[in-house]
Structure formats: structure tokens, C-alpha cells
């Protein structure tokens, strides 16, 4: 009888533990809106069919007392490109806007946070202060919508324009399906809702914050639609003077589905995509300890950088520097918008990139 009770107790404990383990990848990220947030709404407000789905996500609006322009910040279009997610959370938790309006979506593809790349040893969360046992963690997801939210994955994905075919998995990649369609897949519906937001809110500038593997050619890039390239070049110069070494590129108009290409063409907004360097997106990382993730001292990629001696530099891999660079692009671009069009000026007080570099991202969270 005693043995029987013991077995039942062990089984109950296993069920509780299993439920907890299963819940972890699906729980919502806790974001603590700061004093600057004047409204929290949902993406489904712009396309009601998204309501209740795993593609719906929160929009944090920071509105100033005075009139001005509107900017939208998208973090987590790719949920593993974590510096963009953290930069947008920093704005939500400690930003202030005095004139104009900034709308922040830290998890543009909310389904992708619940997904993970298989067999690569990706971290499932980022420990922001590895020395603090009570440190805040930020979820680390995948590039793709969870396959269970968009099933099955076809052999091929044809872009809505009909002009380009991708491998089927790219149909779950938010930054390949723009401008989406209302009756399409979950990923296309998320995109459709984002375009509806840009139009309804008469958005003047949209940022899509990304990261790329160190062994690719993309880290430390600003990419804009050709119509935004003049503003982009001013931002590039501002960054160069401030000590951030970046490349500037314009959209390849034949490559459909990317945010800067499609948003730049179909909306009134200046469309800007940023890329910083994430060592955990490539295939050669060795150390995924919380310390290596935050410090950027990942031995596999530090070796590649030392051998190549090109951008990105080895300090560009540190999380605080990556988030600072993302904030620098946002800050300088919004300032340029105001100098181009005084009536669209957005007077804001966001975390200063230099301070984020020196004090760390944790200083700018609630």
C-alpha cells in the first residue's frame, strides 16, 4: 500500500514537472510598460481575424503631448535576432515621447518566439545579468513561425506577387511574405495586419530590427528602400561620426517579400532595416553559456573575426553594444525625419546608445 502511494506521488510530481516544461516555450514574455507608454493595444485591432491566434501581439504606444510624426519599431520579426527584441523592450520600459508618437511591437512574429531551431544547441532564453541569480531572462525564439501554427509546410512557397518562389519553410518567415494577404497563412496575416497598421496610423517611419550570423555578409548593415536612401545615408554618416562602423545598402527590387522593399513601396513610411551581429545564428559557435552570450566572447566567432579582420569587430558581438547600435539607428533616423520634415518631428527621450554600452541593457528595464 505504501509503495502504491509513493508511485502515485511520483507520477503526480512528474505530471506537474512535465506540464511546467511544456509550458515554458509557450509562455508570454513579461514586458513591464514604462511611464512613457500611453496605450497598449493588439495587432489584431488592425485585422480582427488574428485575435486569439498565436500571431496576435501587443503594441505599446508612446504618445507625446505635442503633435508630430509617427514611427513604428518592429522587434522580433525573427525571434532569435535578440538585440532588436531587447532594444524595443528598452524603449517600451524606459522611453519617453514629448512630441509625436512611437509604436513598438517587441515581438512582431509572436508565434516564432515559441519555436526553436532543432539540433543546433540554440539558447532558449537570454540571461541579462549572468552574475545575478534573480536576473531577468528574455525569450530566444526562431526565425520561423511555429510549424504547428502553420501546418503543413509545403515544398515551395510562392510570394503573393507570384514573382518569386522560395523553399517552403520561407512561407513561415515574416520577412519573406510581406505584404502578406488577409486570407493567407498565419505569417501572411501577421504581415497583412502590419501593413494595415502602417496605413491606418499614417506612419512616417518604420524600423525592422534584425541580426545576422557573423559568418554571413549582413552584420552591421542598414538597408533601406531606394526612396529612403538619402535619409539612410545621413544616418550612416551620423553613425560613422559616433564610432559605429556600418554598411548602407538599398533594397534589391527583384527580391520580393522583405520589409524594407515592400513597406517602402506600398506605404508612405521611410522603411529601414537594421542588422547587428549575433554569433548564435551561425553554425560555428562553441560556447552558449549565459556569460558568453552577453559578453560576445564566443570563441568560435572571435576566431573567425580575428582571422578576417573585417566588420564586425570583436566588440560588436557584445550584447550591450549590439543593442546600443540598434538604438543608435533608431535615434539618428528619427532625428533625421524631424530635420527633413519639421512637422513630423518626434521629440523623444530613448535610452542613449552610449549609456547602454557603458551601463548595460539591464539599466533600462523595469
Q: Which is nearer to Zn ion, 22 or 283 (by Cβ)?
A: 283
Q: Minimum CB separation from Zn ion for residue 210, in Å?
A: 3
Binding residues with Zn ion: total (CB under 5 A): 3
Q: Which is nearer to Zn ion, 62 or 89 (by Cβ)?
A: 89
φ and ψ at residue 341, rounded to 5 degrees: -130, 90
Q: In the block, which residue shows the cell 518604420? A: 206
Q: Does position 357 bind Zn ion by CB under 5 A? A: no
Q: Minimum CB separation from Zn ion for residue 33, in Å?
A: 25
All three cell numbers of 243: 564610432
Residues 153-192: x where in contact with Zn ion by CB under 5 A, - otherwise, as a string: ----------------------------------------
Rg (alpha carbons) of the chain, rounded to whole number:
21
Q: Minimum CB separation from Zn ion for residue 227, in Å?
A: 22
Residues 189-228: x where in contact with Zn ion by CB under 5 A, - otherwise, as a string: ---------------------x------------------
With CA atoms as reference, report the closest residue to 357 among 325, 314, 334. 325
Q: Minimum CB separation from Zn ion for residue 57, in Å?
A: 17
Number of H helices, E strands in the chain: 10, 13
Contacts of 272 (CB under 8 A, 6+ apart): 205, 206, 207, 208, 222, 223, 224, 228, 232, 235, 260, 329, 333
Buried b (16+ CB within 10 A) or exposed e, 19-56: eeeeeeeeeebebebbebbeeeeebbebbeebeeebbb
Q: Minimum CB separation from Zn ion for residue 278, in Å?
A: 9
Residues 27-86 that bind Zn ion (CB under 5 A): 78, 81
Q: Does position 116 bind Zn ion by CB under 5 A? A: no
Instruction: Summarize as ranges the residues that interact with Zn ion (CB under 5 A).
Output: 78, 81, 210
Amino acid at each position: 500500500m505504501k509503495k502504491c502511494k509513493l508511485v502515485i506521488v511520483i507520477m503526480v510530481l512528474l505530471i506537474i514537472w512535465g506540464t511546467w516544461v511544456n509550458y515554458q516555450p509557450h509562455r508570454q514574455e513579461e514586458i513591464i510598460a514604462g511611464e512613457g507608454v500611453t496605450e497598449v493595444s493588439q495587432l489584431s485591432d488592425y485585422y480582427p481575424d488574428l485575435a486569439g491566434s498565436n500571431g496576435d501581439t501587443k503594441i505599446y504606444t508612446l504618445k507625446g503631448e505635442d503633435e508630430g510624426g509617427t514611427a513604428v519599431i518592429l522587434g522580433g520579426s525573427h525571434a532569435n535576432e535578440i538585440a532588436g527584441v531587447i532594444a524595443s523592450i528598452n524603449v517600451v520600459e524606459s522611453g519617453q515621447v514629448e512630441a509625436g508618437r512611437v509604436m513598438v511591437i517587441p515581438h512582431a512574429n509572436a508565434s516564432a518566439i515559441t519555436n526553436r531551431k532543432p539540433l543546433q544547441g540554440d539558447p532558449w532564453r537570454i540571461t541579462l545579468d549572468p552574475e545575478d541569480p534573480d536576473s531577468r531572462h528574455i525569450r530566444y525564439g526562431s526565425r520561423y513561425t511555429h510549424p504547428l501554427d502553420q501546418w503543413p509546410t509545403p515544398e515551395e512557397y510562392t510570394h503573393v506577387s507570384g514573382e518569386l518562389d522560395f523553399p517552403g519553410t520561407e512561407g513561415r518567415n515574416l520577412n519573406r511574405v510581406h505584404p502578406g494577404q488577409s486570407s493567407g497563412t498565419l505569417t501572411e496575416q501577421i504581415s497583412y495586419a502590419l501593413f494595415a497598421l502602417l496605413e491606418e496610423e499614417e506612419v512616417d517611419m518604420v524600423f525592422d530590427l534584425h541580426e545576422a550570423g557573423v559568418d554571413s555578409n549582413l552584420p552591421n548593415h542598414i538597408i533601406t528602400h531606394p526612396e529612403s536612401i538619402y535619409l539612410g545615408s545621413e544616418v550612416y554618416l551620423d553613425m560613422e561620426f559616433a564610432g559605429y562602423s556600418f554598411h548602407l545598402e538599398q533594397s534589391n527590387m527583384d527580391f520580393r517579400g522583405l520589409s524594407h522593399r515592400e513597406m517602402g513601396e506600398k506605404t508612405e513610411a521611410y522603411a529601414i532595416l537594421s542588422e547587428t551581429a549575433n554569433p548564435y545564428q551561425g553554425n560555428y559557435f562553441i560556447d552558449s553559456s549565459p556569460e558568453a552570450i552577453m559578453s560576445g566572447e564566443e570563441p568560435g566567432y572571435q576566431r573567425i573575426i580575428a582571422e578576417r579582420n573585417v566588420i564586425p569587430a570583436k566588440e560588436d558581438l557584445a550584447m550591450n553594444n549590439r543593442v546600443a547600435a540598434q538604438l543608435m539607428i533608431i535615434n539618428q533616423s528619427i532625428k533625421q525625419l524631424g530635420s527633413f520634415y519639421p512637422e513630423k518631428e518626434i521629440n523623444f527621450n530613448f535610452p542613449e546608445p552610449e549609456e547602454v554600452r557603458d551601463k548595460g541593457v539591464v539599466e533600462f528595464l523595469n
